[in-house]
A and B are shown apart, each in its own frame.
Chain A
Amino acid sequence: MKEVAMMETVETIDVDYMELDDIIEKEFGLNKENLIMILQTIQRRYNYLPKPALAYLATKIGVPMSQIYGVATFYSTFSLEPRGRNIISICLGTACHVRGGARVNEKLEELLTITDGQTTEDKRFTLESVRCIGCCSLGPVLKINEDMHGRISSDEVKKVLDQYE
């Protein structure tokens, strides 16, 4: 289970309710069983789960907000806070671990001065750890947005980060 601080910050995000309606109704047929996939679609759209969107979703499909929070905090893919422009997924799966993934992670934390789940102040990067992306043969693996960087060593980390704005 991941630990997430409930957000108290006031959000000033524009949620497009018409579009949200389409997602919930047309794409997922107002079906409660599709909650996880609806949340995934919302997160893809906004890069995180904005509170107003969740509140709207709750009334739309008739699931209490507490349950939506429950689901959003249980599953590690969901983020209740805005994330950075670039999402770094550092693999801490076993195969990457025995090939030195932890050292790459340390380097990332050192360079970005953030830890797992956090976003840099300039919103350039969010650092997230994952446990295996299924590319173990290329381990240690680092994924930034959709780009895979395999067989990476800690002294190459900076060069890789520099490619992202």
Chain B
Amino acid sequence: MKIQSLEDLKKISQSYEKQIYAPEGIKVNIGMASCGIAAGAQAALNKAIENYKENPKIEIRQTGCIGFCEQEPLVEILAAGKPRMVYQHITEDKIIDIIESYLAEDFKTHKKLILGQMRDPRSLLDDDLKNPVGGIGPIDGIPFMEDVPFYSKQVKIAMRNCGYIDPERIEEYFAKKGYAAFLQALKKTKPSEIIDIVKASGLRGRGGGGFPAAIKWATCAKHHGDRYIICNADEGDPGAYMDRSILEGDPHSVLEGMLIAALAIGSRQGYIYVRNEYPLAVKRLVTAIKQAENYGLLGENIAGTDFSFNIKISTGAGAFVCGESTALMSSLEGKVGRPRAKYVHTVEKGFRESPTNLNNVETYANVPAILLKGADWYAGMGTAHSKGTKVFSLVGKINNTGLVEVPMGISLRDIIYNIGGGIPKKKKFKAVQTGGPSGGCIPEQFLDLPVDFDELTKVGSIMGSGGMIVMDQDTCMVDVARYFVDFLKDESCGQCNPCREGLKQMLDILTRICEGDGKEGDIETLEELGSMMQKFSLCGLGTSAPNPVLTSILYFRNEYEAHIRDKKCTAGVCKALFHYEIDADTCTGCRVCAKKCPQEAISGEKKKPHVIDQEKCIKCGICYEGCKFDAIKIC
């Protein structure tokens, strides 16, 4: 069926609302994003399907990432008249037990596996639905998902449907108000008005730079030629995976955002450039595009109008620099992805020398919500110059790893301690790295910083794509700087001198420092190299490459000095600069370390303090990680 109007859309979506909120049988939704699958969701899904294949009342379905990756695989079970329960760590061996206990309405036996019950599964867009939530009251003694600290401060806009719908069923997206914003805009809104709404919302690009989306759209619309719409799904920033999650969990929100942009700008052709490492995202996108085409929401003469728009998918091939807009366009043309100087902007001459609008996945995913709920609603969230929400991937040394979407302006402390649950094993927080290889390391003194584009820039980092890598006392800041420089040296396209040579020099110096051969003056040389690269590199990779080095020097100069002068790495990372010792007073002589040591370097009698033979020790850290009594010290 081809959808011709909002009324058509409504009819289909109404018939699916019941299925997603109050299905007649029992519905089991298994979180099947890449991370869930890696944690064992696929095996659990297969097992459940096999077990209940004769039972038509139990429907086993897949959904996207609910965000709380630490507790994966996550499974949600619901039925009309029963509570919606979310279960955690549900692997193959547990899935049948929890389904059976749900059927028996037994929420006690497996209480530890229950993450919470859902008070209200509606997204911010569905607020006019009438009582969609199942019948019976909440179960005593089980927390509401909305009150679980990981979720309570989150506001889901870009990720509104992730984990709630089957990403391979367009009808479920319809039931969540999907494509309503687009059809309304198509039928009722002038292109310039769309741009005005986006402008008033204050939406800034989520791919790194934070450029106002509406300004880009408006300039692109002004230039003549075959205009292109591109979605940047290259997501090269290591440690950030929100774009993957959106594409895997709610691909239609991105397609709809692109459609709206195409309408506003006047484009007939769109491309999504997806990272090669994301095969599942590609699969879900292909399915989504086909389904949208079947309903006539992509293709020629959409909904009986003269507006036509097609979307193609292209996959990258493992080059970080291809996330940069001009390099990406060159790669889309089948060429080597080298950035070019932007004297002429891509909105004028981009892909195939034509006017091109490129935005990030999350940027597009926000657009339908803004059109439906209005610019004021969106601009009501956030800070003076950063509106709405941002998705962060909270990873590294943090208890609750996962994807969190929070209003701009929330403090780092809130994100790390309230949502993230703090640092594991009671270790001490050292820094949080934001903005990936172009960003910087933010120390403890700035934990109360409100997170938005401008504040992060002020302390020397950037928002970037939203990766937040938490580091504790065991992370060496010099090693982290060396790590990023090493990464960027591999990824620099090599065409301009400051970036190519600067990174090489920096890496040499940092490697020397980490190996114990640091010299007086090294820090100053790094600073000089950094400022030279910032000034003279051609593209964003080179100009931002020194950020991790410069911020770590700024905030952790003492660590550099300890490496250079005292030849000490107190974090116990740089092997030439520390050794392990067993503290005789704390050691219980449990022998765990002695058994684990691959070098057989640890000796001692049972229940007596042990010692490490420094000659044999290769500093692999296995004993340090494994000691329950913290008896192994870094010296």
List the interface of chain A (C-beta within 8 A of B).
1-2, 31-37, 39-40, 67, 70-71, 74-78, 92-95, 97-100, 103, 106-107, 130-139, 141, 148, 150, 153-155
- Asked if A40 contacts B235 (CB within 8 A), the reply is no
- Asked if A154 contacts B334 (CB within 8 A), the reply is no
Kindly state the separation between the CA atoms of A132 and B475 in the bound complex, as whole angstroms: 18
Give the residue name and chain of the B residue nearest to A100 (CB). B621
Query: How many A-B residue contacts, CB cutoff 8 Å?
Result: 144
- Segment with Cβ contacts to A, from B19-27, B32-40, B108-116, B298-306: B32-40
B contacts with A, residue count (CB < 8 A): 61
- Asked if B235 contacts A134 (CB within 8 A), the reply is yes
Kindly state the separation between the CA atoms of A160 and B393 in the bound complex, as whole angstroms: 28
Contacts A94-B469, A98-B396, A137-B72; is A78 near B317 (CB within 8 Å)?
yes
Kindly state the separation between the CA atoms of A67 and B314 in the bound complex, as whole angstroms: 19
**A74, A99, A135: the one within 8 Å of B397 (CB):** A99
Contacts A98-B480, A138-B38; is A32 near B334 (CB within 8 Å)?
yes
Kindly state the separation between the CA atoms of A103 and B72 in the bound complex, as whole angstroms: 25
Kindly state the separation between the CA atoms of A50 and B34 in the bound complex, as whole angstroms: 31
Residue B100 at the chain A interface, CB threshold 8 Å: no
Kindly state the separation between the CA atoms of A66 and B320 in the bound complex, as whole angstroms: 22
**A33, A78, A132, A135: the one within 8 Å of B38 (CB):** A135
Residue B139 at the chain A interface, CB threshold 8 Å: no
Q: Which 5 A-B pairs have the closest CB atoms?
A: A137-B69, A93-B238, A75-B317, A132-B238, A148-B38
- Asked if A137 contacts B395 (CB within 8 A), the reply is yes
- Asked if A1 contacts B494 (CB within 8 A), the reply is yes
Give the residue name and chain of the B residue nearest to A63 (CB). B334
**What residues on A are CB-neighbors of B207 within 8 Å?**
none
- Asked if B241 contacts A135 (CB within 8 A), the reply is yes
**What residues on A are CB-neighbors of B244 within 8 Å?**
134
Residue B454 at the chain A interface, CB threshold 8 Å: no
Residue B625 at the chain A interface, CB threshold 8 Å: yes
Kindly state the separation between the CA atoms of A74 and B70 in the bound complex, as whole angstroms: 35
**What residues on B are CB-neighbors of A97 within 8 Å?**
480, 483
Query: Contact flags (1/0) for B229-268 with A, using CB distance below 8 Å?
Result: 0000001111111001100000000000000000000000
Contacts A138-B35, A148-B37, A150-B38; is A131 near B238 (CB within 8 Å)?
yes
Contacts A70-B336, A93-B238, A139-B395; is A131 near B276 (CB within 8 Å)?
no
Min Cβ gap A11→B in Å is 22
Give the residue name and chain of the B residue nearest to A148 (CB). B38
Give the residue name and chain of the B residue nearest to A76 (CB). B318
Kindly state the separation between the CA atoms of A135 and B235 in the bound complex, as whole angstroms: 13
Residue B493 at the chain A interface, CB threshold 8 Å: yes
Min Cβ gap A87→B in Å is 13
- Asked if B314 contacts A37 (CB within 8 A), the reply is yes
Min Cβ gap B538→A in Å is 15
Residue B620 at the chain A interface, CB threshold 8 Å: yes
What are 21 A-to-B residue pairs whose CB atoms are below 8 Å? A1-B493, A36-B317, A40-B315, A75-B317, A75-B319, A75-B337, A93-B238, A94-B238, A95-B467, A98-B396, A98-B469, A103-B620, A130-B318, A131-B238, A132-B237, A135-B241, A137-B72, A137-B395, A148-B37, A150-B39, A153-B622
**What residues on B are CB-neighbors of A134 within 8 Å?**
34-35, 235, 241, 244-245, 277-278
**B240, B317, B433, B483: the one within 8 Å of A77 (CB):** B317
Residue B511 at the chain A interface, CB threshold 8 Å: no
**What residues on B are CB-neighbors of A77 within 8 Å?**
276, 317-318
**What residues on B are CB-neighbors of A155 within 8 Å?**
596, 598, 622
Extra contacts besides A36-B316, A94-B433, A141-B38 (12): CB < 8 Å:
A1-B490, A40-B317, A74-B493, A75-B316, A78-B317, A92-B238, A94-B467, A94-B469, A95-B238, A97-B480, A106-B620, A148-B37
Give the residue name and chain of the A residue nearest to B433 (CB). A94
Min Cβ gap A51→B in Å is 18
Within 191-241 of B, Cβ neighbours of A (below 8 Å) are at: 235-241
Query: Contact flags (1/0) for B374-402 with A, using CB distance below 8 Å?
Result: 00000000000000000001011100011
Kindly state the separation between the CA atoms of A138 and B39 in the bound complex, as whole angstroms: 8
Give the residue name and chain of the A residue nearest to B475 (CB). A98
Kindly state the separation between the CA atoms of A24 and B467 in the bound complex, as whole angstroms: 38
- Asked if A76 contacts B336 (CB within 8 A), the reply is no
Residue B492 at the chain A interface, CB threshold 8 Å: yes
Residue B487 at the chain A interface, CB threshold 8 Å: yes
Between B337, B395, B475, the greatest number of chain A beta carbons within 10 A of the residue's beta carbon is seen for B395
**What residues on A are CB-neighbors of B492 within 8 Å?**
1
Residue B331 at the chain A interface, CB threshold 8 Å: yes
- Asked if A132 contacts B241 (CB within 8 A), the reply is yes
**B318, B436, B471, B625: the one within 8 Å of A75 (CB):** B318
Min Cβ gap A103→B in Å is 6
**What residues on A are CB-neighbors of B318 within 8 Å?**
75-77, 130
- Asked if A103 contacts B69 (CB within 8 A), the reply is no
**What residues on B are CB-neighbors of A150 within 8 Å?**
38-39
Residue B517 at the chain A interface, CB threshold 8 Å: no
Residue B425 at the chain A interface, CB threshold 8 Å: no
Residue B332 at the chain A interface, CB threshold 8 Å: yes
- Asked if B69 contacts A93 (CB within 8 A), the reply is no
Give the residue name and chain of the A residue nearest to B235 (CB). A134
Kindly state the separation between the CA atoms of A129 and B317 in the bound complex, as whole angstroms: 14
Kindly state the separation between the CA atoms of A78 and B318 in the bound complex, as whole angstroms: 9
Give the residue name and chain of the A residue nearest to B67 (CB). A137
Give the residue name and chain of the B residue nearest to A91 (CB). B238
**What residues on A are CB-neighbors of B508 within 8 Å?**
none
Give the residue name and chain of the B residue nearest to A131 (CB). B238
Query: Contact flags (1/0) for B485-497 with A, using CB distance below 8 Å?
Result: 0010011111000
**What residues on A are CB-neighbors of B622 within 8 Å?**
153-155
**What residues on B are CB-neighbors of A136 within 8 Å?**
69, 239, 241, 393, 395-396, 401
Give the residue name and chain of the A residue nearest to B334 (CB). A35
Min Cβ gap A66→B in Å is 11
**A35, A76, A95, A98: the one within 8 Å of B319 (CB):** A76
**What residues on B are CB-neighbors of A141 within 8 Å?**
38
Within 154-208 of B, Cβ neighbours of A (below 8 Å) are at: none
Give the residue name and chain of the A residue nearest to B70 (CB). A137
Within 444-474 of B, Cβ neighbours of A (below 8 Å) are at: 467, 469, 471
Min Cβ gap B360→A in Å is 15
